Amino acid sequence: MDLRPASARPGEQQVTTADAFRDVYGTGPDGTWAAPGRVNLIGEHTDYNDGFVMPFALPHTAIASVARRDDGLLRLHSGQAEGGVVEVRLDGEPAKGWAAYPAGVVWALRDAGHAVGGADIHYDSTVPTGAGLSSSAALEIVTALALNDLYDLGLQRWQLARLCQRAENVYVGAPTGIMDQTASACCTAGHALYLDTRDLSQHQIPFDLAARGLRLLVVDTQVKHAHSEGEYGKRRRGCEDAAAALGVDALRDVPYEGLDEALARLEDEEQRRLVRHVVTEDQRVERVVALLEADDVRAIGPVLTEGHTSLRDDFRVSCPELDLVVATANDAGALGARMTGGGFGGSAIILVDDASADKIADAVTAAFASGGFREPRVFVAVPSAGAVRLE
Ligand code: GLA
């Protein structure tokens, strides 16, 4: 099994993306930007409950070469999508499919009063789609960062993340939280981002696994997930209803020490399960932060696995393939494992000792083969840089 970190080769790709822009539009771009996908270390389904999350950026990026235009036309082209150039009139019909993500960003910027007059954009992305690794947030953030620069909007990164979330919630219609966009915009290499999603305060926590003889494997189960459909929104509404029933603004306001009392006040078993997950998950984030700050990285493994159990049994957003990754990895000697991202497919993460990485990856691949599942894609996740202008 080849577990070398998948590289986004930004240097190489920058040339390719700008060249492809020239091929598509006949002239050169004004600049080229990159924004990464992410994995979330811990803190799942907490961001729309005003809670804590801890993502880090992947080396996989969406790259955009962009030229400004001021005639109300947005032209979008992607090296990964069929169908040629998509033209969107800014005062016309909304875009559909993949183009809705960047078009939504332009809509959100304009709706917030920023004078964006249009653009020509070519995208190239190495972030796997439908894998729970935030390929759409990468597309949104790279677009927002480019337009922020080209139109001199002066917006800060957290503001770009908010606008991109609004694009996704309102324009695309997916009721997601703020984690993915903030991760793509604000992560830094070698760190995990400890984010309070209520006030968006951020702490960059050093997360250098290689120096500790450890690795974090990502297993893309190749089971596609889709957020805008049903289950994600149901969980979100369930959490909001539970918060209302408990008389708090958000489940973040239920303290861990008050969990039993809160559970006793809820009649609905479904709501009890949602609350138990969110409150214990927020506490797991705090525990992971404390362990990392104490330089006890190995000890976060069991906390990751606890998080998976909670997502599987209480929040019920896992699936057989994700459960198989976690069980197989732990049986084969991993320090811990869990699903990452929204769930219902997508990816899992596994914390391993360097020496056992190959053995554990092979065990997972073999378990998928004997379970009759599609071969998973396994790679090493190295905490990488957030969004950046390349040229
Ligand atoms: C998706 C959403 C995020 C977050 C996660 C679950 O990735 O986009 O906002 O809710 O699911 O933690």
pLDDT tens per residue, range 17-67: 999 999 999 999 999 999 999 999 999 999 999 999 999 999 999 999 999
> Region 301-316: what's the mean pLDDT?
98
Strands of 24-136, DSSP E:
31-40, 52-53, 55-68, 73-78, 86-89, 119-125
pLDDT band for 8, please (50, 70, 90 cuts): very low
**Which pTM value belongs to this model?**
0.96
Per-residue model confidence (pLDDT) at position 77: 98
Helices 100-111 and 135-150: crossing angle in degrees, nearest 10, is 40
Cα of 343 vs centre of ligand 1, distance in Å, is: 9
Is the pLDDT reported for residue 236 higher than 80? yes
Active site residues: 180
Residue 361 backbone class (left: φ over 0; alpha: ψ -120 to 50; beta: rest): alpha
Is the pLDDT reported for residue 253 higher than 80? yes
d(CA 30, CA 17): 12
Task: Express each pLDDT in 92-133 by its tens digit.
Answer: 999 999 999 999 999 999 999 999 999 999 999 999 999 999
Cα of 48 vs centre of ligand 1, distance in Å, is: 8
> Region 372-390: what's the mean pLDDT?
97
Per-residue model confidence (pLDDT) at position 15: 58
pLDDT band for 5, please (50, 70, 90 cuts): very low
Residue 281 Cβ inside 6 Å of ligand 1? The answer reads no
Hey, which of 45, 141, 282 would you mutate to test ligand 1's pocket, going by the most ligand atoms within 8 Å of its Cβ?
45
Residue 177 Cβ inside 6 Å of ligand 1? The answer reads yes
d(CA 304, CA 330): 11
Task: Express each pLDDT in 155-192 by its tens digit.
Answer: 999 999 999 999 999 999 999 999 999 999 999 999 99
> Region 129-146: what's the mean pLDDT?
97
pLDDT band for 228, please (50, 70, 90 cuts): very low
Which residue's CA is minimally distant from atom 1 of ligand 1? Answer: 342
Q: Which two tokens stand for residue 355?
A: 């020496």
Per-residue model confidence (pLDDT) at position 224: 85
Which residue's CA is minimally distant from atom 5 of ligand 1? Answer: 342
> Region 320-328: what's the mean pLDDT?
98
CB 212 within 8 A of CB 218: no
Cα of 23 vs centre of ligand 1, distance in Å, is: 36
Task: Express each pLDDT in 197-207 by its tens digit.
Answer: 999 999 999 99
Residue 200 backbone class (left: φ over 0; alpha: ψ -120 to 50; beta: rest): left
Per-residue model confidence (pLDDT) at position 1: 57
d(CA 216, CA 37): 15
* Closest approach atom of ligand 1 to CA 178: 9
Q: Which of 171, 170, 199, 173 is nearest to 182 (CA)?
A: 199
Percent of the chain residues past pLDDT 70, beyond the cut: 95
Residue 48 Cβ inside 6 Å of ligand 1? The answer reads yes
* 3-class DSSP string for 224-243: CCCCCCCHHHHHHHHHHHHH
